[in-house]
Structure 1
Amino acid sequence: MADIFRIWLEIDHHLAFRSGGWAYIRAEGSALLGAAGGERTASPERIALVGLVEALNGLPGGSKVDVHSASRPVLALPRRLGRAADDPPTEDVELWAQLGAALKGRPTRFIPAAAAPRTPIAFAAAWAELARDKAKTSPFRAAIPKINLAKAGVPA
């Protein structure tokens, strides 16, 4: 049986400043990994793309993935990817290609989640906001420390 990875991915975007941040938590069993990052001038879709590509990076081939998110731009990605043949993206083409390659042949579900307190979604949202704030002045990327991930509320 293929491994099943769970990913909680959130983004935060400031329309006026066009700065955005993303954060994810990735779990396989009890092992947790997480990162956050942000860009100074980007659309919400680009932030979602970067976050998802980062979250999928390094997963073994054939693994199943469940992506949980409360962010509309994240949940819209599979629909947009499915339309790519008829309506190819004109922006962030390289990121779309990376996402397509990362998802090819990989059973993936996108699961809407509520941003309830003390959940992995709320944890990721807080890190995405921090990343967006740091990205106002320069690009940002950092691993989320394991001690923090232990408090993310990831269900067993």
Structure 2
Amino acid sequence: MAAVTVWIASLCRPDPGYGGWAWVRRTDGETGAAAIRGAAGGERRASSARMSLSALAEALDALSDVAADAAVTLRFLDPDLAGQLVASDGDYASAEPEAWAAARAAVAARPVLELVPAAPADAPTGFLNAWAEFGLDTSKSRGSFKAAIPKPNLMKFPG
């Protein structure tokens, strides 16, 4: 069974305001276009918490083709995310109850999930932030959306 690493990033300007998120998934030990996938999206009138939880839920939902007991490492930039996921009544739960419930359900569906904070200096961070920024910018003109990151761009992912 192959292990999978997922990276997520999100942003919101101002908070609340326009938001964007991005995720990239790489199946460890595989090469080529089939080994890597990703998506980006954005919303108007969003909060930082909503964007972080949306990135998480979207990334984990995209693992539907991976066995539920496969080892998944999630690398995330939001320093509060892991703590919020274990709190039943934290800030994220009260501010964004629907997004929080979706994220908690996605996490619960993955029994082998390791949450690892990513450092801003990590190589994948710039790539993910650029796509989260794309999501934010696109939501300004198109409203809520999500789209796959094109394969030629994913092949440049430094993770």
Name the TM tier (shorter chain).
0.7 to 0.9
Q: Does 1:5 align with 2:9?
A: no
Q: Does 1:151 align with 2:150?
A: no
Secondary structure of the corresponding residue to residue 89 of structure 1: helix
Change (3 A) 1:49 1:17: closer
Is the contact between residue 5 and residue 73 of structure 2 (CA under 8 Å) also seen in structure 1?
yes
What TM-score do you get using the length of structure 2 for normalisation?
0.82
Q: Partner of 1:41 in structure 2?
A: 45
Change (3 A) 1:148 1:100: same
Displacement of 1:89 in angstroms is 2.1
Q: Does 1:28 align with 2:27?
A: yes
Q: Partner of 2:147 in structure 1?
A: 142
Displacement of 1:141 in angstroms is 1.2
Q: Partner of 2:70 in structure 1?
A: 63
Aligned mates of 1:86, 1:96 — CA distance in 2: 10
Aligned mates of 1:41, 1:12 — CA distance in 2: 12
For these two proteins, the number of residue pairs brought into alignment is 149
Unaligned 5+ residue runs, structure 1?
none
What TM-score do you get using the length of structure 1 for normalisation?
0.83
In the alignment, residue 12 of structure 2 is paired with which amino acid? H
Aligned mates of 2:69, 2:156 — CA distance in 1: 29
1:77-156 pair list within 5 angstroms: 77-84=81-88, 89-104=93-108, 106-116=111-121, 119-137=123-141, 138-154=143-159
Is the contact between residue 22 and residue 132 of structure 1 (CA under 8 Å) also seen in structure 2?
yes
- Please provide the CA RMSD for this pair: 2.3
Counting aligned pairs with the same residue, the percent is 36
Is the contact between residue 25 and residue 120 of structure 1 (CA under 8 Å) also seen in structure 2?
no
User: Greater helix share, 1 or 2?
Assistant: 2
